[in-house]
Chain A
Amino acid sequence: MKLYDSFRSALQSLVVNKLRSALTMLGVIIGVAAVIAMVSVGNGASASVQATILNLGSNLVTVQPQFGNDQGLKGAGAQAQNLTLDDMRSIQNQLGDGIAAAEAEQGTGRWQVTAAGQNWNTQVTGVTEDYPIVRDWKLDSGEFFTTSDLNVNAQVAILGTTTAQNLFGDADAVGQTIQLRQVFGGDRGGGRARILNFRVVGVLTTKGSTFGFSRDDQIVVPLTTAQHVLTGRLNIVNSIVIKATSSDTMDATTSDVNNILLQRHNISDPASADFTVTNQNDTLAALSSVTGTFTLLLGAIGGISLLVGGIGIMNIMLVSVNERTREIGIRKAVGARRGDILTQFLIEAVALTGLGGVLGILLGWAITEVVHRIPQAASLPLLITSGTVIIAVGVSVAIGVVFGLYPAMRAARLHPIEALRYE
């Protein structure tokens, strides 16, 4: 029997029972649509997390002081040492061209900022000259400060776009002066206020937000200025951030940085290091394993509805075989072999699930489009990958085979005489 004939008779019988075929297919359609929509939401979330991490700069190795629980127990012995600007310089010098760039940061907390009669409260951070390279962050206007600014603790500032907008509106901020003030003492009016003038030398490009915090609302100043003028916490940095030359060299860079700092801090046992080196790849891997599990979970929910759809197919195919016992008898009487009958019913099941799969993809796609229209999810990139589509179609065809096989085998095994006698 030609496959063409099998297809024709399968399609004919599906067309004859239009409503039944449509309802049966609905199970598969909903299942496939659920898988597609769920997995695309999962993929979207994962891509969004990934983008957020990479928004902080790519190929980053971050060093932070270790605040171990056992720190107090170290007592008079090896006192945990701070990370310093010298640590960063030493890394820069020793690794040279082995890394793309490095910078050190010290947070100074929130400051009240005034300029041109406007008042604003924002985060001020001390950074070093390679900050724009490390963070992949260009300036919109002006120039970033240089090592000479760091050397003289220059009171210069770079503004984020939100900050610049709030202080100067649409006017050019570069060249303007801002005043940072911090109030000491608790009593209203009784405290002493420190007022520090900073010259704006540049405005950063818009970066968006990371985990809900706007990165465009901040001021960066030279690290040394932050240490000497703003905080007074000399010889300490909160983090050193190294940009590796590429994703492939990150592991090497991580261990190099680790070795340099162990040596500088005179620590022989890496387990008792007073700092931690975090590889961005590890962070990404950890996060993508989380989002991967999330995607898998969503996919599994869709998969269950697909399974239910498959059972529906089996059910209706058994009914169909029963109903058409006489037809099977007639076909056998005129010479249909077991394989012919098997193929016919199998193709019928696969046609149901295959068509259901295609319609399910369209429905799934429609669902993701609708989800995209929801404001809260608009930023989520919903990804329907060709992989998802291929898997969805493949799985639905496979479901047709798996759940269609048993009814088809029952049909094929019928004895022609009994089948012909069936009323």
Chain B
Amino acid sequence: MNQSVVQLRGITKTYHIGRDITVNALRAVDLDVGAGEFVAIMGPSGSGKSTLMNVLGCLDVADGGTYLLAGENVGKLSDDKLAGIRNKHVGFVFQTYNLLSRLNAIENVELPLIYGGDRHARRQRALAALEQVGLGDRIHHRPSELSGGQQQRVAIARALLNDPSMILADEPTGNLDSRSSAEILAIFQRLNEAGKTVVMVTHEPDVAAHCKRIVRMRDGLVARDELVPHPRRAEDEIAAGIGAAE
């Protein structure tokens, strides 16, 4: 682990539901993610992993503590500043893909560049990203014309476009069959081997087993943080026909 991408210190987040009920979603979370790591965040419902994911992705700000993202303190930034940070540093991959249905694949991939970054060669870069996830031949297809796995690959291409500091994936395989899941995980592993930092929220141990490190959340705290000695290789599983068997 060299230079730190994410550095959380004493992060707290409290929600108020109605007038009386307060939920301490995060209670003093400390977490470091170094460049080039592949981390899974696990935990049961209500453990705070979604809140942590929102804070990590700068979709939400913590109530207390400090958060350095790529060395920048993003704790108390305005909405528009946070939008800029998301654009530059975070590539999101969601469980439900979250593609714009009326745009085709390449237009979806181009989206982050509309809002920031280098506008030149937008099309070429989007094309390169799509080729990287193996969809170079589907660039003019609408999301509705693509399978779930293909849609998720478009979403990954979109996440890659601005060359973010971190790819943040929220249950990326949650809606996919095991064959497609394995393909998506293979892409993440390939990207990680090429040096990308990947943080993935999941509740499936099988999926988490592909990561290099697993952080387990419980009751708003990091309960366990351990390295995976021998991460499973998605490529090997595809070769062995795991997906095909199901």
Contact = CB atoms under 8 A, between A and B. Distances in A.
A and B associate: yes
Interface in A332-372: 332-340
B177 interface: no
A329 B94 CA distance: 12
A420 B94 contact: yes
B54 interface: yes
B220 interface: no
Interface in A1-54: 1-2, 5, 12-13, 16
Give the bracket for the number of chain A residues in contact with chain B: 20 to 34
B214 interface: no
Interface residues of B, number: 26
A335 B102 contact: no
Please classify the interface of chain A as helix (H, G, I), strand (E, B), loop, or mixed, using the class held by over half of its residues.
helix
Interface in A153-202: none
B23 interface: no
Interface string B83-121: 110111000101000111011000000011011100100
Given A12-B102, A13-B102, A16-B102, A335 B87 contact: yes
A12 B84 CA distance: 25
Contact of B115 (A334, A416, A420): A334
A330 B100 contact: yes
A339 B79 CA distance: 11
A2 B119 contact: yes
Nearest to B79: A338
Given A416-B59, A417-B59, A333 B114 contact: no
A331 B59 contact: no
A417 B114 contact: no
Contacts of B116: 335
Contacts of A215: none
A335 B84 contact: yes
A256 interface: no
Contacts of A326: 98
Contacts of A329: 98
B57 interface: yes
Given A1-B115, A417-B60, A335 B86 contact: yes
A331 B54 CA distance: 15
A327 interface: yes
Contact of B86 (A2, A5, A13, A333): A333
Interface string B134-170: 0000000000000000000000001000100000000
A256 B20 CA distance: 90
A335 B83 contact: yes
B86 A327 contact: no
B114 A5 contact: yes
Most chain A beta-carbon contacts within 10 A, residue among B84, B92, B99, B100: B100
Contacts of B103: 12
A1 B79 contact: no
Contacts of A338: 79-80, 83
Nearest to B83: A337
B86 A337 contact: no
Contacts of A336: 83, 114-115
Interface string A407-423: 00000000011001000
B79 A334 contact: no
Interface string A43-87: 000000000000000000000000000000000000000000000
Interface of B: 54, 57, 59-60, 79-80, 83-84, 86-88, 92, 94, 98-100, 102-103, 111-112, 114-116, 119, 158, 162
6 contacts: A1-B115, A13-B102, A332-B83, A334-B86, A335-B116, A336-B114
Given A417-B60, A420-B98, 7 more contacts: A1-B115, A12-B103, A330-B98, A330-B100, A337-B79, A338-B79, A417-B59
